[in-house]
């Protein structure tokens, strides 16, 4: 088993902005002497002062002892030139995201540091293989990708380029773990794990907005309240910065030779062109200016409890509705043996969980004119909100019966435009699809990808674990129907999902 770098190893951090200072703080707290270097005059000294102040605040809050805080601060050493890093055992950088700049830094360092010094680039989007191509010894370089803010975020992606020595990657993995982080291995491919697998979270939301399926506040509310995500996609893009998010999407799209799955959004392009970058300059998908008010999610008006409610089958939604209606003393009957995805009837309204077809297409193909489709939820038993769409053949009175049923179970209803899939289900299907492709292409294993998405972007579950809970056959069906509904390669099914589906089919038969 590979051991971490010992605490006496000198860690050098080049670039002392928020990310570089955060990495330096983590390394110093773990017991390493840390040298900080920046090409801006006085920046390294200022970063050291800031980190020491942060250690002092942690001591005041009781999160570390005063002695430990003072000792960690004393391990920070600002320096002025690359030659001062000659005794480093690990050099990591958090400089500008530019290939030539990173290559030059490490080429220069090769003539300064010892032969056993490891290079750990913190790049979030540039190929580790490409950075290493300029080096005499590219095997000593690997990605050491922290997430911002580095002292708080647990995830570190350990990224191996084509030439990376596996022992270097394992040493960085063990070192990150010794620093209290949760490392995952990844292969140097566009976006690594998180920045690749997360693309559908933004892309599906942007597509729905473009098509007028729902507004910004409603999509965000569905993803938070029904999906359990900490932030909706538009809130998150505003926090990241639309310019930054759009640039990453373009980078991944270009790196994958314009694969339709990563196609950037025209709406996001327009916002960036307008200079509406989000929180950092006061306006993005939301208006953050002092006089602005935040829009509310769309919720259906209150409807009476339907005169008759029949729950069909034993799906998670049917079971949850039964419990919720019982708790609220709402009368209903059950037909537990019903199949075909039928969940409930409220008067003449027929409710189904979305399978990726629009309600109108489903009604046409099944002959059930009064078809209502409802969205996925992270937990139907506790969700405060569900998205719902009605077939074109449904009357407004029928739609109101379906709304009344869900409201009677204590669920706010967001009625969205009828389109293939519904907000949460189509997003999960695409996240799981991208994660499956990453596994299939050897970027990381399933556990590593799920861990990365939980810790790197705060997803309530790893997308692969969540897809298995929903059922891979259901995810495959949703993707198939999305592909048929849009007629685009964007929704092609990952070979891994196909393989697992057919393996399960053969096993069950």
Cα(429)–Cα(482) distance, rounded to whole angstroms? 10
Cβ neighbors of 428 (< 8 A, separation 6 or more) are: 227, 376, 463, 466, 467, 470, 475
As assigned by CATH, the class of the 309-415 domain is alpha beta
Q: Give the chain's residues under pLDDT 70.
A: 1, 339, 501-509
The answer to whether domain 424-508 has CATH 3.40.50.300 is: no
Centre a 10 Å sphere on the Cβ of residue 67 and count the other Cβ atoms it contains: 9
Q: pLDDT value at position 112? A: 98
Q: Where in the chain is the domain with CATH 3.40.50.720?
A: 11-188
DSSP-based three-state secondary structure for 207? helix
| Closest alpha carbon to 129 in 81, 162, 101 | 162
Which of 122, 160, 188, 195 does the annotation list as catalytic?
Answer: 195
**507 an active-site residue?**
no
Which of 157, 170, 204, 225 does the annotation list as catalytic?
Answer: 157
| Closest alpha carbon to 19 in 120, 151, 131 | 151
Token duo for residue 419: 């389109």
| Closest alpha carbon to 208 in 501, 417, 466, 461 | 417
For the domain covering 11-188, report its CATH number.
3.40.50.720
Residue with structure tokens 């179970």? 409
Q: Where in the chain is the domain with CATH 1.10.1040.50?
A: 196-281, 424-508
In SS3 terms, 110-150 reads as HCCCCCCCEEEECCCCCCHHHHHCCCCCHHHEEEEEECCCC
Token duo for residue 325: 């209606």
Give the Cα-Cα-Cα angle 77, 82, 85 (nearest 5 degrees): 50
Q: pLDDT value at position 502? A: 66
**124 an active-site residue?**
yes
Structurally, at CATH architecture level, domain 196-281 sits in Orthogonal Bundle (1.10)
Q: Where are the alpha helices (DSSP H) in 343-419?
A: 359-366, 396-408
Which of 124, 188, 265, 481 does the annotation list as catalytic?
Answer: 124
**298 an active-site residue?**
no
Token duo for residue 165: 């020595």
Centre a 10 Å sphere on the Cβ of residue 81 and count the other Cβ atoms it contains: 9
Cα(411)–Cα(226) distance, rounded to whole angstroms? 10
**211 an active-site residue?**
no
Which of 32, 93, 145, 251 does the annotation list as catalytic?
Answer: 145
Give the Cα-Cα-Cα angle 259, 261, 264 (nearest 5 degrees): 85
Cβ atoms of 122 and 146 within 8 Å: the answer is yes
């Amino acid at each position: 088993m590979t051991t971490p770098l010992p605490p006496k190893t000198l860690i050098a951090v080049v670039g002392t902005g928020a990310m570089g200072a955060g990495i330096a703080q983590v390394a110093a707290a773990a017991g390493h002497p840390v040298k900080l270097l920046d090409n801006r005059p006085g920046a390294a000294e200022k970063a050291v002062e800031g980190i020491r102040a942060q250690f002092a605040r942690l001591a005041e809050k009781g999160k570390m002892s005063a002695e430990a805080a003072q000792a960690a601060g004393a391990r920070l050493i600002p320096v002025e030139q690359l030659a001062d890093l000659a005794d480093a055992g690990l050099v990591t950088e958090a400089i500008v995201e530019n290939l030539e700049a990173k290559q030059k830094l490490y080429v220069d360092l090769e003539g300064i540091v010892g032969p056993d010094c490891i290079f750990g680039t913190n790049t979030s989007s540039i190929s580790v293989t490409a950075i290493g191509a300029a080096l005499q010894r590219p095997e000593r370089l690997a990605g050491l990708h922290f997430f911002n803010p580095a002292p708080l975020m647990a995830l570190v992606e350990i990224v191996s380029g084509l030439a990376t020595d596996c022992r270097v990657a394992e040493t960085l993995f063990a070192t990150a773990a010794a620093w209290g982080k949760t490392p995952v291995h990844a292969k140097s491919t566009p976006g690594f794990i998180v920045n690749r697998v997360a693309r559908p979270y933004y892309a599906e939301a942007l597509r729905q907005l473009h098509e007028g399926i729902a507004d910004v506040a409603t999509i965000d509310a569905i993803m938070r309240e029904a999906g359990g995500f900490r932030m909706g996609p538009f809130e998150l893009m505003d926090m990241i910065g639309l310019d930054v998010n759009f640039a990453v999407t373009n980078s991944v799209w270009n790196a994958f030779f314009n694969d339709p799955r990563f196609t950037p959004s025209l709406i996001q392009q327009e916002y960036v062109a307008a200079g509406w970058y989000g929180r950092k300059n006061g306006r993005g998908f939301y208006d953050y200016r002092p006089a602005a008010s935040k829009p509310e999610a769309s919720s259906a008006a209150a409807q009476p409890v339907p005169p008759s409610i029949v729950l069909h089958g034993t799906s998670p939604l049917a079971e949850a509705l039964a419990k919720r209606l019982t708790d609220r003393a709402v009368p209903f009957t059950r037909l537990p043996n019903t199949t075909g995805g039928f969940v409930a009837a409220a008067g003449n309204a027929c409710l189904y969980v979305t399978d990726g077809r629009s309600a109108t297409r489903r009604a046409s193909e099944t002959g059930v004119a009064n078809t209502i489709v409802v969205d996925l939820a992270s937990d139907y038993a506790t969700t405060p909100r569900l998205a719902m769409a009605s077939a074109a053949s449904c009357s407004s009175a029928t739609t109101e019966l379906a709304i009344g049923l869900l409201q009677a179970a204590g669920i706010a209803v967001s009625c969205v435009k009828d389109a293939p899939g519904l907000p949460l289900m189509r997003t999960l299907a695409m996240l799981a699809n991208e994660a499956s492709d990453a596994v299939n292409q050897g970027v990381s294993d399933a556990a590593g990808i799920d861990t990365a998405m939980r810790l790197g972007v705060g997803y309530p579950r790893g997308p692969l674990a969540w897809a298995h809970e929903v059922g891979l056959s259901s995810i495959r069906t949703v993707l198939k129907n999305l592909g048929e509904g849009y007629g685009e390669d964007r929704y092609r099914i990952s070979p891994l999902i196909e393989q697992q589906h057919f393996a399960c089919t053969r096993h069950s038969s």
